[in-house]
Structure 1
Amino acid sequence: MAALILFTLFSLGLLFPLTSTTSDTLSKGSSLSSEKPEDVLTSPNGVFSAGFYPVGDNSYCFAIWFTQPSQSSHPTIVWMANRDQPVNGRRSKLSLLKNGNLILTDAGKFTVWASNTLSSSSAQLYLYDSGNLVLRTSEGDILWESFDFPTDTLLPQQQLTRNTKLVSSRSQSNYSSGFYKLLFDYDNLLRLLYDGLEISSIYWPDPWLVSWDAGRSTYNSSKIAAIDSLGMFVSSDNYTFMSADYGVVLHRRLKLDHDGNIRLYSWEEEEERWVVSWQAIQKPCRIHGICGANSMCSYGAGDGGRKCSCLPGHKMKNLTDWSYGCEPGFDLSCNNKDSGFLLLSSVEFYGYDYGYFPNYTLGECENLCLQLCNCKAFQFKFDEGKGFSKCYPKTVLLNGYRSPEFEGDLYLRVPESSLLSYTNSAEDFRLDCSSEGTVQLDRTYGKSRGNRTLKLLLWFAYGVGGLEIICFFFGLSLLRHWRKGKTP
């Protein structure tokens, strides 16, 4: 009897193999499937998980996240393999091949991502307690690790080096690569870079500061930075900071957010939520490119305490994305007499000056801009400390913000005929995130012939069954009529 039970269990194992993975290890020749939510690697301490994470309609990325969800109920992602090329929810796999290469394949069986590793000895994929996903041999040699390829997050024990950088996501719900980067520059300084569709610029530390005024050193070329679990960040350019809750061992993550600010988050166990314990930029409107061209940032109720608005006479290019900025609803003429200037108080647009012209009067600065066909506006400011005015004709209107702290004004060039109508026409748009982050994948599948045959057999069975029922009731009806005919 026992032998019969063992044989039955063995047969069921052949018919229904247990391929799901819930350990911290993936062995050579094994795979994780996007169709099986249970196919997840979990670190030995249970803090981190790795598997397929949904990022849109039928689109998935292989990711690492904190196992315990926050109050938002969404897992906190710390790494992604294929953030810019999600795979389909069907037939996609992460496989550790027998040659030691770790590959992510889509439904079409083509390789979306690979570790590009080779090993003749046995190799396994481990998820460490630190959140590091490591491919190593049986001898302990590391072939590949996720810590060497960060996305937008740095974890304790993970180093930012000359060969790595953090790249923000596109938005809060769109995990693809955005426009902001944290990296070591050519001068050995750790910087934040806005790398937009057309223009790039450094915005942290403040670009007008020399390195020593920003408390940095260019002499150490090692280019290494890291955060520890106590909340201290140390960089080789002498930049350091401590979190507001420094000294307590907590789950922490340093993230370059989609808005271009870098923040340190600490986990509050009791309230089960992440809190900001440090951030690099206290005035978010100073972040470059946040509102796009021909628009300005101001402080108020909005995303991160700020909002974007188009300049008068301009309209948004993309109603769901401020990074595209605004476009003018008019054409400027090179004829001086066809243009006028609209005063925008306490508004500054940083950079992209035609030049710097000190000690110009307001009229001289205006005439200078009118003589330049590509002059879009001019910045005018009186420097009380130096006792003279400053004139900056602008050829590109980027990095604009309005703040009472700015003791200068912007004079926007508009058609003279529209000057009066634009005086009070600044439009204020809000970001619509209702459809953001949905990624549509163009994937076609050939229908299985086996399924088609099965469907035909089922329809045939239904037809035969229906015919039998009809014949039954028809025969029953004839029988009743026959009996009635025989009754006297």
Structure 2
Amino acid sequence: MNPPSPSPVSIHHMLHLWLFLFPVLCVAQTNITVGSSLTAANGNSSWLSPSREFAFGFRSLSNGNNAKDERLFLLSIWYNKIPSETVVWFANGDRPAPENSKLALTSNLGLVLTDPQGEELWKSENILGDVSRAIFNDTGNFVIFDSKSEKLWESFKDPRDTLLPSQTLGKNKLLFSRRSEEIFSRGKFQLRMLDSGDLVLNTINLLSNYANDAYSITQPAGDSNGSASSGKELVFSDSGSLFVSKENGGEVYLSQEKVPLASDFYLRVTLDFDGVLTQYYHPRNSSTDGSWSILWTQPENICSAVVSQGGIGVCGYNSICTLGEHNRPNYEEKQNHGSAEDIYTIVELKNTGFPPYNYAQLGPFSEDECRNSCLHDCMCAVAVHVDGTICKKKGLPLSNGIFQPKFNWKAMIKVPKSDLPLTPTNDSKFPIPGLKAKEKNPRTWILAGSLLLGTSVFVNILFIGASTLGFCVIYRKKPEKLNPRENLVETNLRCFTYQELFKATDGFKEELGRGAFGIVYKGLK
């Protein structure tokens, strides 16, 4: 017997039920009303722009092994029609959202992201007024409006590491890099539009916002210092040109490369995790499995551009930076991969300082903040915590250390664990954490004493005399061999292998001079 066909009434009810249950997450929405929400879960959970070229929502984060971790999510905007689904904006890079976290558009705070327990992970800042609705448009910009259609917040004014066509970067605004390609927490590079009108690239001291000296500068005013010719904002035009617009209407372009047609290619400018500002282009045709191509980069040589007192290259004194394809840095890490805590340890010296040069002075900073800042900053060799509030960070080469009992100083020296002594040292001034001196076996002394007491006085005299003579002869003929690693904490110098020196000097090719300590050769970066 065939089942009864549904009546028109039941079809009508089923249609309403289906529309109610159908997830609005997959609908290309232009207007998002107050009360709308997204939930972090497996599969797509996003709002789409009208053309469906951009998506706004949750994406699974990488677990660090080029695989997705389905339990942690990133609230982000990405290209929806290309295989790579490249992320161009993200909210919670430093605080990944657990599964079942919720994003809601609220009337008083705008966008609010909370975890399953209701704890706030992120929100749209500086919302002044009552939220009426939001729009996600085809430029990739998410905009929140009030009832008078005035903008309260937009993702274009709260950028991360990427600019899209029609986006601008005003004075005192910045882009910041990611920690790595797959780790979206804040990295150590910035692109800043200064209040002076200059556009600069600089590194920062992680765990703080302290900006180091710029390694690339665009000065629209040149040497004139005139307010009319100074920079106003950085503009990424609809056609894909990137330039600094001047107060007097002039323009200073960052590149003279011919830009592909925006109608045929997606365009973006990204401050990559390695500190290189790059303009990319990608074919719009979704049927082609193309990849992002590089139009131009700045600076041309990041390895020579980022130079600190503590070393050369974007990773500081503990790595070698060489330039690869498309001006991207290649790293030859001297340590095994792992976290800073896995690679380094901190040796503390009380009442000790290393005047006079600091490449960064941070404060107010607690001792733990100072220690962690140096530990995670590859340009930092020593951090000195002063008077319980100031953190002075120093790179190599260090000056002579000063010990002053009356000063409230604590020097925290970062030492690679692989360079720690293989055997404990007896130097009480520089103890190595976690290492204890090997105790002498008391049974040896008991046995020696018993033998001496059990023999005659004459034999004992002969034995002691022979032992003393032999001791002097042996130690005069065999100078003490010093383990170079035992003095590592005192000198904080790095040892180089012959192969490294051979490579750095191009086979000892160019001799610069000779002195009392030997021959000096020209080294290559």
Same fold (TM over 0.5): yes
Instruction: Provide the residue aligned with 2:259 in structure 1.
Output: 246
Please give the residue correspondences for 1:416-455 in structure 2 after superposition, counting only pairs within 5 Å.
422=496, 424=498, 426=500
Instruction: Provide the residue aligned with 1:83 in structure 2.
Output: 93
SS of structure 2 residue aligned to 1:276: strand
> Structure 1 CA distance, aligned partners of 2:340 and 2:497?
23
Please give the residue correspondences for 1:70-219 in structure 2 after superposition, counting only pairs within 5 Å.
73-90=83-100, 92-99=101-108, 101-116=110-125, 117=127, 119-120=129-130, 123-137=132-146, 139-197=148-206, 200-205=211-216, 212=222
Q: Does residue 20 in structure 1 map to residue 18 in structure 2?
A: no
> Is the alpha carbon distance of 1:64 and 1:425 closer, same or farther for their aligned partners in structure 2, counting shifts above 3 Å?
same
> Is the alpha carbon distance of 1:206 and 1:86 closer, same or farther for their aligned partners in structure 2, counting shifts above 3 Å?
same
Could you tell me whether the CA contact under 8 Å between 1:87 and 1:107 is conserved in 2?
A: no
> Structure 2 CA distance, aligned partners of 1:371 and 1:418?
8
Could you tell me whether the CA contact under 8 Å between 1:103 and 1:115 is conserved in 2?
A: yes
> Is the alpha carbon distance of 1:291 and 1:101 closer, same or farther for their aligned partners in structure 2, counting shifts above 3 Å?
closer
> Structure 1 CA distance, aligned partners of 2:198 and 2:492?
47
TM-score, normalised with respect to structure 1: 0.59
Code of the residue aligned with 1:49 in structure 2: it is: A
> Is the alpha carbon distance of 1:21 and 1:143 closer, same or farther for their aligned partners in structure 2, counting shifts above 3 Å?
farther
User: For residues 253-274 of structure 1, what are the alpha-carbon distances to aligned partners after superposition, in whole Å with 9 as ceiling and x for unaligned?
Assistant: 1100000010111123456221
Instruction: Provide the residue aligned with 1:3 in structure 2.
Output: 9
> Is the alpha carbon distance of 1:135 and 1:296 closer, same or farther for their aligned partners in structure 2, counting shifts above 3 Å?
same
> Structure 1 CA distance, aligned partners of 2:211 and 2:332?
20
> Is the alpha carbon distance of 1:2 and 1:149 closer, same or farther for their aligned partners in structure 2, counting shifts above 3 Å?
same
Code of the residue aligned with 2:122 in structure 1: it is: W
Deviation at 1:178?
0.2
Deviation at 1:251?
2.0
Deviation at 1:108?
1.4
Instruction: Provide the residue aligned with 1:234 in structure 2.
Output: 243
> Is the alpha carbon distance of 1:98 and 1:244 closer, same or farther for their aligned partners in structure 2, counting shifts above 3 Å?
same
Instruction: Provide the residue aligned with 1:272 in structure 2.
Output: 290
Deviation at 1:224?
0.5
Bigger RCO (CA 8 Å, 6+ sep): 1
> Structure 1 CA distance, aligned partners of 2:138 and 2:339?
38
> Is the alpha carbon distance of 1:371 and 1:266 closer, same or farther for their aligned partners in structure 2, counting shifts above 3 Å?
closer
> Structure 2 CA distance, aligned partners of 1:83 and 1:74?
19
Task: Find the partner of 1:286 among 287, 304, 316.
Answer: 304
SS of structure 1 residue aligned to 2:196: coil
Deviation at 1:107?
1.4
Code of the residue aligned with 1:63 in structure 2: it is: S
Instruction: Provide the residue aligned with 2:331 in structure 1.
Output: 307
In structure 1, runs of 5+ residues without a counterpart are 311-315, 332-349, 353-368, 376-395, 398-413, 429-488
Instruction: Provide the residue aligned with 1:61 in structure 2.
Output: 74
Between the two proteins, what is the percent identity of the paired residues?
Answer: 25
> How many equivalent pairs are there?
344
> Structure 2 CA distance, aligned partners of 1:370 and 1:201?
18
Instruction: Provide the residue aligned with 2:400 in structure 1.
Output: 373
In structure 2, runs of 5+ residues without a counterpart are 1-6, 63-68, 307-312, 350-378, 382-395, 403-412, 415-486, 503-525
User: For residues 210-267 of structure 1, what are the alpha-carbon distances to aligned partners after superposition, in whole Å with 9 as ceiling and x for unaligned?
Assistant: 9737x99776556301112333222146531345332622321110000001011112
Code of the residue aligned with 1:20 in structure 2: it is: L
Deviation at 1:86?
1.2
Could you tell me whether the CA contact under 8 Å between 1:291 and 1:325 is conserved in 2?
A: no
